[in-house]
Amino acid sequence: MNIKEIFNLFLLISAIHGFLFSIVILFSKNGREKSMQFINLLVLVVSLNNIQSWILIKDFFIKYFFLDYLHIPWHFLIAPFFYMFLIHYLEIEKRSKNILKIILPIFLFIISIRISFVFFFSDSNTVDIAHLFEKYTFLEEIFSLLISLTVFAYSFQILSKKEKLFTKILSFDNLKWIYTFFKLGLFTYLFWIIALAISVALNFKEFIYSYYPLRVLTTVLIYWIGYQAIMQLGLLKERKNLRKQLNFSSIDINETLVEEPKDSYKKVIFDNTEALIVEKKLFIEPRLTADSLANTVDVNAVKLTSIIKLFSDKNFSDYINEFRIEFAKELLVDEAYKNYTITSIGLESGFNSKSSFYATFKKHTGLTPTEYQKSLLK
């Protein structure tokens, strides 16, 4: 089996996988969530693009001029659908632009141009149709690339520069997985640019091979974000339910007030700080830092960390993690929370990832959260 056959098999299998993914999500319990609907559309357009490429490479329609040249530019919709997923997942869709109202008409217009092209040249025998078509496709892809990069950059700007719009989500999800998607997405655009450059260098002849890495990377990346979205959305809903049952909301540590210590004794500062941490459950905030806590209690950060070290014999991180571990231990053995996953409990206790929760829990107790729960819940 040569490289071309392997790639063709990949296109076929990935397309079938994508269609099955879409069907399963459509009828799943989270399938009605707007964010999940756009992830589903994202996977679907990649699957349609792959099955279309597979059909064209196999020359199934070579005898049918209309079908052989009517290539739908599904790639045009990938970035817009991701943007729509992002604003719905961040729950800021009411304060964001609905770019689909602009993109979809353009997409339909591009398809109409292709249809016109097919009808105009269907009876022509004097023009090198294939070469002309590839040149047009190149121009269309340049346009699609520019639109896609613009939407991609705008989406990243929202994620990185407008955190004040989605502080509620940030109290449940640090969004590192979405940042990872953006980093990997840059490589996808790089491969796209390289593929277009090779197309020009080869004068638009036999350039399909330059798209192999691009389509493989795009497919894997889109399916990865699809499965991540499923997992994260489920975890997000579970954590919201857990927090509701715990009966406390997210804390803005910069807005929490405490009575300023009436004297300068270090023990008074330590006691006031610890009382505040316990009373307001500040430790459940994954982004809690020595600086933010120091601002809250109106004490210099260096001074506060030295006081914590003096009276607890722990650095700031270990000191805060001790509260988180004790809180997690209570939830792990409480029958009222037995239906929640250990990961949700760990994240609601203030850890920013499953791995950090497990590692810290093992460090403090000598057991993993699972082992600890099983030892006490019998």
Q: Which domains can be identified in the chain, with CATH numbers?
A: 3-245 (1.20.1070), 248-376 (1.10.10.60)
Say what the pTM is: 0.76
Mean pLDDT of 349-378: 88
Q: What is the pLDDT of residue 246?
A: 77
Tell me the average pLDDT across 289-314: 87
pLDDT digits (tens, 9 = 90+) for 161-199: 888 888 888 878 888 899 999 999 999 999 889 888 887
- What are the DSSP calls for 84-109, one per residue? HHHHHHTT-GGGS--THHHHHHHHHH
Q: Cα(134)–Cα(128) distance, rounded to whole angstroms?
A: 10
Residue 157 has pLDDT above 90, yes or no: yes
User: What pLDDT score does 189 carry?
Assistant: 92
User: Inter-axis angle of helices 316-332 and 369-376, to 10 degrees?
Assistant: 40
**How far apart are the C-alpha atoms of 73 and 56, rounded to whole Å?**
13
Closest CA to 45 of 84, 72, 64, 70: 72
Q: Give the C-alpha separation, 130 to 19, whole Å.
A: 30
Residues 228-238: tens digit of each pLDDT: 988 888 888 88
What is the distance between the alpha carbons of residues 282 and 304, in angstroms, rounded to a whole number? 16
Separation between Cα atoms, residue 149 and residue 185, nearest integer Å: 10
CA angle 112, 114, 120 (to 5 degrees): 100
pLDDT at 67: 52
Say if residues 221 and 185 touch (Cβ distance below 8 Å). yes
CA distances (Å), 227 to each of 183, 220, 298, 313, in order?
17, 11, 44, 43
Q: 136 pLDDT band (50/70/90 cuts)?
A: confident
What does each C-alpha distance from 284 to 56, 127, 156, 302, 323 come to in angstroms? 54, 69, 27, 22, 9
Q: Is the pLDDT of residue 133 over 90?
A: no
Q: Tell me: the pLDDT tens digits for 298-309?
A: 888 888 898 998
Distance CA 31, CA 38 (A): 10
Region of poorest pLDDT, from 50-54, 134-138, 258-262: 258-262
> What tokens does 143 get?
């346009």
Q: Please compute the mean of the pLDDT values over residues 198-206 and round it to a whole number.
A: 72
- What percentage of residues in the chain have a pLDDT greater than 70? 87
- What are the pLDDT digits (tens) for 90-128? 999 988 999 999 999 999 999 888 888 777 766 655 456
Q: How far apart are CA 159 and CA 101, in angstroms?
A: 21
- Tell me, what's the pLDDT at 63? 58
* φ/ψ (deg, to 5) at 304: -65, -45
Least confident of 16-25, 139-148, 211-220: 211-220
**pLDDT digits over 52-104, tens only?**
888 877 766 555 545 556 678 898 999 999 999 999 999 999 889 999 999 99
